[in-house]
């Protein structure tokens, strides 16, 4: 499949899943816009590296996804947006009665409200070009829950709900909106949870991965960023033109349990 000439904007894409998706979409010919709130030399270097490897135009644009106006400005600065991947996300784990209010607000803003703002800004651009794909990176936690992740589970369920609304509002147009629900993927977001869990349960790394992180992932394997990039590419293909308003789980069987 080819996305030659199309532009994909991927929020939160200087690391992990977002970066993996950007690399896979660039391989199919899409120009890519990388984003984070950091604006470091390394962020721009990642875009340069993708451009060099694939021959597409790759740019880095700084925007803080916790701020609605910056979300909208990201789309304006991108200039084109045929494929919007709402991927930026953060996590915090605490019982609800101790859950820090500022963490709740940040998770709801970055993991959910950012997708509202970018989608609102991107749909007119997609309509003007006559084609579009909105792909929200939700989570198995957009379909199921775990204790101590109130904000994350609420935000991801919200993203799944908003995906359905966007699909209905664009149903008669050549635009689709879907959510991908990954199980565990070994990215910095997950890697940082391993040392604390090793300490908490007095376990070695392998046991934490198998018995704690992958306890609910029947395949006992992490999904990979390349597989998520491939799923995005599929949702951009003609084969997926009638897939809209739904979720695709990439979770090793988690939600079959
Ligand atoms: P990660 O920590 O590697 O990447 C998170 C990305 O979000 C980074 O690029 C970071 O710069 C960006 N980001 C964070 N705050 C931001 C802000 N305020 N403004 C702009 N960008 C910001 O994590 P990841 O595992 O690659 O997660 C990516 C997405 O996938 C998240 O939405 C996450 O919830 C979801 N997800 C991850 C897993 C997993 O197991 N890793 C599973 C299911 C869903």
Is the pLDDT reported for residue 152 higher than 90? yes
Please tell me which residue in 60, 152, 184, 201 is annotated as part of the active site.
Answer: 152
Which pLDDT value is given to residue 69? 98
Which pLDDT value is given to residue 192? 87
Tens of pLDDT along 159-196?
Answer: 999 999 999 999 999 999 999 999 999 998 889 889 99
**237 Cβ contact list (under 8 Å, min separation 6):** 1
**235 Cβ contact list (under 8 Å, min separation 6):** 133, 135, 176, 178, 180, 243, 248
Tens of pLDDT along 211-226?
Answer: 999 999 999 999 999 9
Which pLDDT value is given to residue 189? 82
* 3 band by pLDDT with thresholds 50, 70 and 90: very high
Q: Average pLDDT, whole number, for the chain?
A: 97
172 Cα to the center of ligand 1, angstroms:
31
Q: What are the structure tokens assigned to 80, written together?
A: 């084109």
Whole-Å CA distances, 181 to 5, 35, 81? 27, 21, 22
Which pLDDT value is given to residue 50? 98
> Ligand 1 within 6 A of 184 CB?
yes
Is residue 182 within 8 A of residue 160, CB to CB? The reply is no
Domain edges within the chain: 7-185+222-256
Tens of pLDDT along 30-39?
Answer: 999 999 999 9
Write the DSSP symbol of residue 146: -
The Cα 13–Cα 34 span in angstroms is 5
Q: Probe ligand 1: pick from 88, 111, 249, 254, max atoms within 8 Å of CB?
A: 88
Name the CATH superfamily housing domain 7-185+222-256.
Answer: NAD(P)-binding Rossmann-like Domain (3.40.50.720)
Q: Of all residues in the chain, what percent carry a pLDDT higher than 70?
A: 100
Is residue 250 within 8 A of residue 183, CB to CB? The reply is yes
Is the Cα torsion angle 11, 16, 19, 22 positive or negative in sign?
Answer: negative
Whether residue 152 lies in the annotated active site: yes
For the question of whether the overall pTM of this predicted structure is more than 0.85, the answer is: yes
> Ligand 1 within 6 A of 99 CB?
no
Is the pLDDT reported for residue 68 higher than 80? yes
Is residue 5 within 8 A of residue 26, CB to CB? The reply is no
Tokens 């003007």 locate to 128
Is the pLDDT reported for residue 1 higher than 80? no
> Ligand 1 within 6 A of 36 CB?
yes
Residue 58, strand partner residues: 32
Q: What average pLDDT does this structure show over 34-59?
A: 98
């Amino acid at each position: 499949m080819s996305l030659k000439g199309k532009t994909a904007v991927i929020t939160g894409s200087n690391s992990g899943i977002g970066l993996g998706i950007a690399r896979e979409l660039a391989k199919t010919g899409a120009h890519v816009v990388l984003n984070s709130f950091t604006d470091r030399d390394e962020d721009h270097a990642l875009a340069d590296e993708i451009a060099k490897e694939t021959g597409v135009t790759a740019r880095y644009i700084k925007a803080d996804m916790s701020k609605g106006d910056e979300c909208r400005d990201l789309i304006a600065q991108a200039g084109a947006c045929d494929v919007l991947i709402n991927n930026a996300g953060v996590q915090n784990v605490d019982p609800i009665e101790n859950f820090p209010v500022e963490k709740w607000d940040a998770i709801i803003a970055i993991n959910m409200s950012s997708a509202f703002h970018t989608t609102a800004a991107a749909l007119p651009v997609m309509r003007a070009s006559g084609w579009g794909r909105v792909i929200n990176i939700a989570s198995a936690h957009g379909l199921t829950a775990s204790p101590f992740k109130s904000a994350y589970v609420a935000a991801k369920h919200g993203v799944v709900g908003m995906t359905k609304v966007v699909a209905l509002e664009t149903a008669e147009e050549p635009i689709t909106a879907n959510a991908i629900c990954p199980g565990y993927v070994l990215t910095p977001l997950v890697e940082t949870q391993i040392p604390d869990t090793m300490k908490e349960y007095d376990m070695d790394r392998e046991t934490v991965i198998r018995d704690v992180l992958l306890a609910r992932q029947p395949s006992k394997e992490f999904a990979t960023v390349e597989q998520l990039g491939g799923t995005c590419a599929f949702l951009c293909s003609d084969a997926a033109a009638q897939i809209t308003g739904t979720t695709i789980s990439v979770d090793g069987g988690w939600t079959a349990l």
